[in-house]
Chains A and B, each alone.
Chain A
Amino acid sequence: MSTLLITITQVSILLAFIMVMVLILTYLERKVLARIQMRMGPMRTGPYGILQSLADMMKLLAKEDIRPHGSDRMLFYLAPLFVFVPSFLIWITIPFTRNIVVENLELGLFYIVAVSTVSIVGMVLAGWASGGKYSILGSARSAAQLISYELPLVFVIAGVGILAQSFNLITIVNQQSSIPAIVYQPLGFTIFFVAGLAEVGRIPFDIPHAESEVVGGPFVEYSGIRWSIFFLAEYANTLAIATLSVLLFLGGWSGPLTEHFEWLQPIWLILKVSAILFLIFWIRATLPRFRIDQLMQFAWKILLPLSFVYIMVNATVPFVETVITSNAASNQLTGIAQIILGACQILILFLVAFAISKRRKKYLTHLHQGVPA
């Protein structure tokens, strides 16, 4: 009984935490976007507008909950839950420090991948159940995009697991206590970040709910509290991707002085996550949206082969190292192996970037020649 109570308390604290984080995140996003566009963002509600997202939430909760005529009643009401519950379940196994975690699963990364896939079902359900043409179009798009970008993401996570010889997030972070993994896995970080952006549908990849094309994608027909559940899920996912990339590649809570002061750990985590979030907002303010064919080509022709190469490199270098040093017991890379691995990955990154820009130049000249003078 008492364990059940403890679990319930933990989960409700987590839920409240996510809600509050989403509120803060929307506020920060609006502020950062505004600053990039030389505006000020929300300034009226509370000092510097800090109560703006709270007011927005109140507005959403007070709105009428509309179900369109001709929609499927049960599926329409179920779909938001299908989207939100996975994005919440991910958080159960994400550790905030060495000790603060709801459930430290041994196969944490695998669990995250498995659970997050369910939200695709929710997207498709939402689009299908609302019975509008824009929503069904949006849900088809989101299904296509999410499935395509799921693959590179899974492969990268597998690559990380191979290198760390563990799927436990805390172990992975502990292995990076001296040096963050991005130093010797820049390729992995890049693929993970890009595929993660696409997974949560942030701006260069927001084909599913492109406002100028399909109004709001799968969520067009939703309003009020149900729409806000989708919104919550989207931002919880964004935060999860940012936190995961910090945990997997940026060394999580480890940083200078954390060995002596335990309380510095969450601060380092927050700092790193904020940096990643700023990067996400920054990209959102800069890049235009992909076309759907570009999106698919990028996923299948560039990102997926890259992630194969990543796995191969990740598997080969430690193997060669163990063969040379004949030291099979240690599952940690030595410094030289790390340097070689990092060099390999940077080389691959540059090669790919070079190839892309070369192809693009060819495409552009082709385009110009095609135009009659």
Chain B
Amino acid sequence: MISIFRGLITTLKTTFRRPVTVQYPSTHLPLTPRYMGFPVLTWDFKIQEPYCTGCLVCARVCPTDVITVSMKDNPKAANEESHRRKIVNDFKLDISNCILCGLCVEFCNFDAIIMSDFHEEGSLTRVEQDLPLVTLLDMGKEMQDKGKFTPPPPKKRPPAKAKKDEPATDADPEKQES
């Protein structure tokens, strides 16, 4: 009998609290600093080219096989503007199947791919879910502008055509993160 009135008083108290609702499409909750959205590609502002060399590591490691990469010779490497001998030719990321696991970021040797905080990438058709290189780079630039990703300066490397046998391990992920 008394518990009924106690319950009524409890509900009356909650009536006058502020509602916790966030009117989603018009207002957003602030994202946490380490929020993980879709992976995007970074841009090397010094040389004006992507960090990605098209090495296919991320494509292989991706558990859902959503990354398609191809590689080409870097034209800037010929006149020694860039230390990258190879550069990404085409990059496609099917975000409709990406599970945001972050393995691609973990395994990339060049810090060329980072997790962004983009998460509202819905579209009406499936084709739009295949993000091309340009879009990914644009999103990456936006992330870099926000200061969430500042890659360390690359190690000095002998310019192209010097050695061929050395694998692309100049960027040690442990050291770069510090």
| Partner-B contacts on A (CB < 8 A) | 32, 34-40, 43, 282-283, 285-287, 353, 356-357, 360
Contact B19 A282 (CB under 8 A): no
Report which of B12, B18, B23 forms a contact with A38, defined as CB distance below 8 A.
B18
Is there contact, CB below 8 Å, between A285 and B1? no
Q: Mark B19-56, 1 if CB is under 8 A from A, else 0.
A: 11101000000000000000000000000000000000
Measured CB to CB, the closest approach of chain A to B45, in angstroms, equals 43
Q: In the complex, are the beta carbons of A287 and B7 less than 8 A apart?
A: yes
The CA of A356 and the CA of B23, in the complex, are separated in Å by: 45
With A37-B14, A282-B11, A285-B11 given, is the CB distance from A360 to B20 under 8 Å?
Answer: no
Residue B2 at the chain A interface, CB threshold 8 Å: yes
Chain B interface (Cβ within 8 Å of chain A)? 1-2, 4, 7-8, 10-12, 14-15, 17-21, 23
| Extra A-B contacts (6), CB below 8 Å, given A40-B19, A40-B21 | A37-B14, A38-B20, A38-B21, A282-B12, A283-B8, A286-B11
CB B154 to nearest CB in A, in angstroms, measures 51
* Residue of A36, A287, A353 ringed by the most chain B CB atoms within 10 A: A36
Complex-state Cα separation, A120 to B166, whole angstroms: 88
Residues of A within 8 A of B21 (CB): 38-40, 43
Question: Which 8 residue pairs spanning A and B have beta carbons closest together?
Answer: A40-B21, A357-B1, A286-B11, A286-B7, A353-B1, A40-B19, A36-B15, A38-B19
Contacts of B20 in A (CB 8 A): 38-39
* SS of B interface (majority): helix
Separation of A38 and B22 alpha carbons in the complex (Å): 11
Chain B residues with Cβ below 8 Å from A39 are 19-21
B6 to chain A: closest residue by CB:
A286
Distance in angstroms between the alpha carbons of A36 and B19 in the assembled complex: 9
Query: What is the CB-to-nearest-CB distance from A34 to chain B, in angstroms, rounded to a whole number?
Result: 7
13 A–B contact pairs at CB < 8 A? A38-B17, A38-B19, A38-B20, A39-B19, A39-B20, A40-B19, A282-B11, A283-B8, A286-B4, A286-B10, A353-B1, A356-B1, A357-B1
